[in-house]
């Protein structure tokens, strides 16, 4: 980074500060990860300089010899990793990827059915705050209030009643695996396109630690930066019969030129995910989540659904007498970074909810194991009783930093 250091010391310093910050804190945001240096190098390459509206072999700009080869490489790797028939690697991120699916299969006013945002769904699954909830008639299914689990009978009932054009399976805060066969059966019964948004668990699918949505889904969207451990971006995978509709929806429907440097980073990440060690990473991510869930439960934390079988946990803090936001702020002071979150049956505002969400993709990438999960649970428990005591939180932060110093950080020298 010599040129940056010379030309823009202010930005250089912020990057260095962020490297230190990411190194000395425990990052438990379920949707974050550490990309490899190779991914970062690819994203910072001269592919930033090129416009390539269109698709390989059919571009609207000349000079695509390397961009075409790159995009084809990324597509082939994604097909191999997930066993998909058709892949589009151009969506800028998860929200535009989901919007492209709506554009391909629905008209404004059509009905879509997805998981309620406050029960773990995503904004783009038809939340009123999102264009997907403003432009489409969004109907939502909830988690069962007793079990905290998806209720497939309720999903089926709503699907048959509302006949959605698109049935969405996927989440940003559901700690359990999804039954794609059941979703497929429901989609077939009501005549819907089945969209699986696997953004959160794509890396687990790639590594064999979560059932695959293929061949059940018509279309699968995913971001590339969560458990998949690539750069910030997205891909859409679909059956060949939907290839034209999806490609047209992404470009020219929603986007202009793809971000080729991101495509380069995605290609690198996909090759990394094809290696045998990625299977081990996926397995350990779940193992760590389950160890952390057990250690937190033992300390009286109330985990929605009673635990986890993926990479994330959702905790209802009502029994701890502290809402999610002040607790997340206190944990940040203690060097533990996670996010406040709504919980099923939420009675508070989304901006100041009752719970927190946490996950193990980042800490597993660093090499943390079961012993470190115990330590994290211990610190989180301690922080509950000293949320307003900055000195005590700073003491925890020192211990956190000492533990972090023992583990290298992928992508950071
Ligand atoms: N914002 C992401 C998450 O944290 O789950 C989803 O897009």
* DSSP-assigned states of every residue in 237-286: EE-GGGHHHHHHIIIIII-SS--HHHHHHHHHHHHHHTSHHHHHHHHHHH
CA pair distance 205, 202, nearest whole angstrom: 5
What single-letter DSSP state applies at residue 207? T
- Burial string for 288-298 (b: 16+ CB within 10 Å, else e) reads bbbbbbbbbbe
What pLDDT is stored for residue 301 in this prediction? 98
CA 2 to ligand 1 center in whole angstroms:
33
- Interacting residues of 77 by C-beta distance below 8 A, sequence separation 6+: 267, 270, 271, 274
What pLDDT is stored for residue 1 in this prediction? 87
What pLDDT is stored for residue 145 in this prediction? 85
Q: State whether the beta carbon of 221 lies less than 6 angstroms from ligand 1.
A: no
What pLDDT is stored for residue 174 in this prediction? 98
CA pair distance 348, 323, nearest whole angstrom: 9
Cα angle for residues 122, 169, 212 (degrees, 5° grid): 120
Mean pLDDT per 10-residue interval, the chain, length 413 residues? 95 98 98 98 98 98 98 98 98 98 98 96 96 97 94 98 98 98 98 98 98 97 98 98 98 98 98 98 98 98 98 97 98 98 93 97 98 98 97 98 97 88
Question: Is residue 125 a contact partner of residue 113, using CB atoms and an 8 Å limit?
Answer: no
Strands 166-170 and 193-197 turn out to be parallel
**Three-state secondary structure call for residue 316:** strand
User: Residue 255 to residues 60, 96, 145: CA-CA distances in angstroms?
Assistant: 13, 9, 40
What pLDDT is stored for residue 413 in this prediction? 79
Q: Whose CA is nearest to atom 1 of ligand 1?
A: 31
Neighbour-count burial of 26, counting CB atoms closer than 10 A to its CB (0-12 exposed, 13-18 middle, 19+ buried) = buried
Which helix H or strand E contains 137, and what residues bound it? strand 137-141
CA pair distance 66, 237, nearest whole angstrom: 23
Mutational test site, ligand 1, from 27, 31, 92, 222, max ligand atoms within 8 Å of CB: 31
Does the global pTM surpass 0.75? yes
**Three-state secondary structure call for residue 387:** coil
pLDDT digits (tens, 9 = 90+) for 32-62: 999 999 999 999 999 999 999 999 999 999 9
Residue whose token pair is 């937190």: 296
Active site positions, annotated: 51, 53, 197, 223, 226, 232
pLDDT digits (tens, 9 = 90+) for 238-247: 999 999 999 9
CA 31 to ligand 1 center in whole angstroms:
6
CA 320 to ligand 1 center in whole angstroms:
25
All domains of the chain in start order, with CATH: 40-273 (3.40.640.10), 284-404 (3.90.1150.10)
Residue whose token pair is 């700009």: 61
| Tokens at 292, concatenated | 């952390």
- Interacting residues of 362 by C-beta distance below 8 A, sequence separation 6+: 27, 28, 29, 32, 33, 34
What pLDDT is stored for residue 309 in this prediction? 97
Chain Cα centroid distance, residue 270: 16
How many residues are given for the chain? 413
């Amino acid at each position: 980074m010599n040129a940056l250091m010379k030309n823009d010391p202010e930005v250089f310093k912020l990057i260095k500060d962020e490297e230190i910050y990411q190194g000395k804190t425990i990052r438990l945001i379920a949707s974050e990860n550490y990309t490899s240096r190779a991914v970062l190098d690819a994203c910072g390459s001269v592919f930033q300089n090129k416009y390539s509206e269109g698709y390989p072999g059919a571009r609207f700009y000349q000079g695509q010899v390397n961009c075409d080869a790159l995009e084809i490489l990324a597509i082939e790797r994604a097909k191999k990793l997930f066993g998909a028939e058709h892949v589009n690697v151009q969506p800028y991120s998860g929200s535009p990827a989901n919007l492209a699916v709506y554009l391909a299969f629905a008209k404004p006013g059509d009905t879509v059915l997805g998981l309620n945002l406050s029960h773990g769904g995503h904004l783009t699954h038809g939340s009123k705050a999102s264009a997907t909830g403003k432009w489409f008639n969004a109907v939502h299914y909830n988690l069962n209030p007793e079990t905290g689990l998806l209720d497939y009978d309720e999903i089926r009932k709503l699907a048959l009643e509302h006949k959605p054009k698109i049935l969405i399976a996927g989440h940003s805060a559901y700690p359990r695996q999804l039954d794609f066969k059941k979703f497929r059966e429901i989609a077939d019964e009501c005549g819907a396109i089945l969209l699986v948004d696997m953004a959160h668990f794509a890396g687990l699918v790639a590594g064999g630690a979560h059932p695959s949505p293929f061949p059940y889904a018509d279309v699968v969207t995913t971001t590339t930066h969560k458990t998949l451990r690539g750069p910030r971006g997205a891909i859409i995978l679909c059956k060949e019969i939907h290839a034209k509709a999806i490609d047209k929806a992404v470009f020219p429907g929603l986007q202009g030129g793809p971000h080729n440097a991101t495509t380069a980073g995605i290609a690198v990440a996909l090759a990394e995910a094809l290696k045998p060690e990625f299977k081990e990473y996926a397995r350990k991510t779940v193992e760590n989540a389950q160890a952390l869930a057990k250690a937190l439960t033992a300390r009286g934390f109330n985990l929605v659904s009673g635990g986890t079988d993926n990479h994330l946990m959702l905790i209802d803090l009502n029994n701890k007498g502290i809402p999610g936001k002040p607790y997340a702020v206190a944990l940040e002071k203690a060097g533990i970074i996670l996010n406040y979150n709504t919980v099923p049956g939420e009675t508070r505002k989304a901006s100041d909810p009752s719970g927190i969400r946490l996950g193990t993709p980042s800490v597993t990438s660093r090499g943390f194991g079961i012993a470190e999960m115990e330590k994290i649970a211990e610190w989180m428990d301690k922080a509950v009783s000293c949320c307003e005591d900055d000195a005590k939180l700073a003491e925890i932060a020192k211990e956190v930093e000492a533990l972090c110093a023992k583990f290298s950080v992928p992508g950071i020298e």
